């Protein structure tokens, strides 16, 4: 379990996060939502030891992150960052110290990239290589920061299947998204940030009922009847004139 209490983070004089509190549980996927500049990346960085001088507490099963050794932190969290390094090395060398080596790449169907130089890869290919590197870590919490931004549909499915696997294995998964309807189709819970403050923490179902999809993100919920007679609810991007008109088509 991850328990965050009264977390505040500053970069110089700039307040990035203010009084954020929430809990994440094992075996669940949590979508981290918010507009650009809302604090999503700052929160992920705080949870993965990027900001060591935070205020408040970040507790992994009762263990305070700031009091953990480097070795302990390595077993607490793993990160797929938004900004990926571009270094001139062979992809396989990234896995030299990884148990199983490039077998992690093989497991994701990426063995074709093992002999390539990292700087020669496309943005999507580089994203998948670092996904494999993150998955090679043994951690409690796996954080993905806009992991689907540069990916084609096949790459997005690979990321989502990887998150589902981590969930089945009993890990905690926190992933930030811009594509909110897509995120809500497979996430269990969600956190919503607005200007560095947490405005929602709970299940996907409760988020749908909260009205924040419309008020913060300009989305409306439309209801359709499927061919087998089932009522299907979808969040759709709304034009300005659609916002607030209600939820049924």
Q: What is the DSSP string of 22-48?
A: EEE-TTEEEEEE--TTSSHHHHHHHHT
Q: Are 158 and 131 in contact (CB under 8 A)?
A: yes
Q: What is the SS3 assignment for 169?
A: coil
Residues 220-238, mean pLDDT to the nearest whole number:
66
- Confidence check: pLDDT of 120 > 60: yes
Q: Are 121 and 114 in contact (CB under 8 A)?
A: no
For the stretch 24-43, pLDDT in tens is: 999 999 999 999 999 999 99
Q: Report pTM.
A: 0.87
């Amino acid at each position: 379990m991850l328990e965050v209490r009264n977390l505040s983070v500053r970069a110089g004089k700039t307040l990035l996060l203010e009084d954020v509190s929430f809990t994440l549980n094992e075996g669940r996927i949590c979508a981290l939502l918010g507009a650009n500049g809302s604090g999503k990346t700052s929160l992920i960085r705080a949870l993965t030891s990027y900001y060591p001088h935070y205020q408040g507490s970040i507790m992994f099963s009762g263990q305070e992150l700031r009091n953990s050794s480097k070795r302990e932190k390595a077993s607490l969290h793993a990160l797929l960052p938004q900004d990926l390094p571009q270094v001139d090395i062979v992809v396989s060398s990234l896995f030299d110290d990884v148990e199983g080596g490039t077998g992690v790449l093989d497991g994701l169907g990426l063995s074709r990239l093992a002999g390539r130089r990292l700087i020669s890869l496309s943005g999507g290919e580089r994203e998948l290589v670092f996904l494999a590197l993150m998955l090679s870590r043994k951690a409690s919490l796996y954080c993905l920061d806009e992991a689907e931004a540069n990916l084609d549909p096949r790459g997005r499915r690979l990321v989502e299947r990887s998150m589902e696997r981590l969930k089945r294995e009993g890990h905690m998964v926190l992933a930030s998204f811009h594509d909110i309807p897509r995120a809500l189709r497979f996430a269990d819970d969600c956190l919503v940030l607005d200007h560095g403050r947490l405005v929602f923490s709970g299940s996907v179902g409760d988020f749908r009922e909260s009205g924040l999809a419309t008020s913060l993100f300009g989305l409306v919920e439309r209801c359709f009847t499927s061919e087998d007679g089932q009522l299907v609810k979808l969040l759709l991007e709304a034009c300005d004139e659609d916002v607030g008109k209600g939820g049924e088509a």
